[in-house]
């Protein structure tokens, strides 16, 4: 095999490996992609034993948005400090009972949940594109809106 042919084969293999590595890297999901974005409150699910809102005030929040970014959280136009976005796994019934004095029956959450600290509140991963968010004593179903980034 000539030196030129060996060089061409080597160059082709290197290019293919580089392209494959770039392709794999591009397909990896962004860290915290499951929580970052704009969420619309879809439904009041339940309330804790102690709440700052009335049922009517909570119902008025349905359709409002929560925007979660790495550097801020905005709930219905109210800013929070930069979230840490720390996560922990918990047994749902115990966590809700001990942390919120609330039942889990109406929340539609799995037996074990991922809890995400948003600084001014917490979100609980429900399934792809859905979370339960706690605000002022009420639990809301929230649906992730499609990204407008291109």
pLDDT at 26 over 60: no
**147 band by pLDDT with thresholds 50, 70 and 90:** confident
Residue 107 shares a structural domain with residue 45? yes
Alpha carbons 56 and 88: distance in angstroms, whole number = 32
* Closest to 63 measured CA to CA, from 134, 145, 137, 129: 145
Residues 22 and 55 in one domain: no
Distances (CA, A) of 23 to 80, 90, 97, 142: 36, 35, 45, 32
% of residues, the chain, pLDDT over 70: 79
Regarding whether 99 and 56 lie in a shared domain, the answer is yes
Distance CA 28, CA 24 (A): 7
- pLDDT for 23: 43
If one counts the domains in the chain, the total is 2
Q: CA-CA distance, 83 to 69, in Å (whole number)?
A: 8
Is the residue at 150 inside a domain?
Answer: no
Residue 24 domain boundaries: 1-29
Q: Verify that 24 and 44 share a domain, yes or no.
A: no
Residues 46 and 5 in one domain: no
Whether the CB-CB separation of 125 and 146 falls below 8 Å is answered with no
Digit-coded pLDDT (tens) for 93-105: 999 999 999 989 9
Residue-level pLDDT at 31? 84
């Amino acid at each position: 095999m000539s030196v030129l042919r060996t060089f061409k084969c080597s160059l082709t293999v290197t290019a293919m490996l580089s392209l494959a590595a770039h392709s794999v890297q591009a397909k990896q999901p962004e860290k915290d992609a499951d929580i970052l974005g704009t969420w619309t409150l879809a439904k009041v699910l339940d309330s804790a034993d102690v709440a700052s809102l009335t049922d009517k005030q909570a119902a008025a929040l349905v359709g409002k948005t929560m925007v979660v970014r790495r550097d801020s959280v905005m709930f219905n136009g109210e800013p929070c400090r930069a979230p840490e976005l720390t996560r922990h796994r918990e047994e749902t019934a115990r966590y809700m009972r001990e942390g919120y004095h609330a039942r889990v029956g109406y929340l539609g959450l799995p037996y074990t949940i991922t809890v995400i600290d948003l600084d001014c509140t917490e979100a609980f991963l429900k399934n792809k594109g859905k979370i339960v968010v706690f605000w002022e004593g009420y639990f809301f179903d929230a649906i992730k809106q499609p990204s407008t980034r291109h």
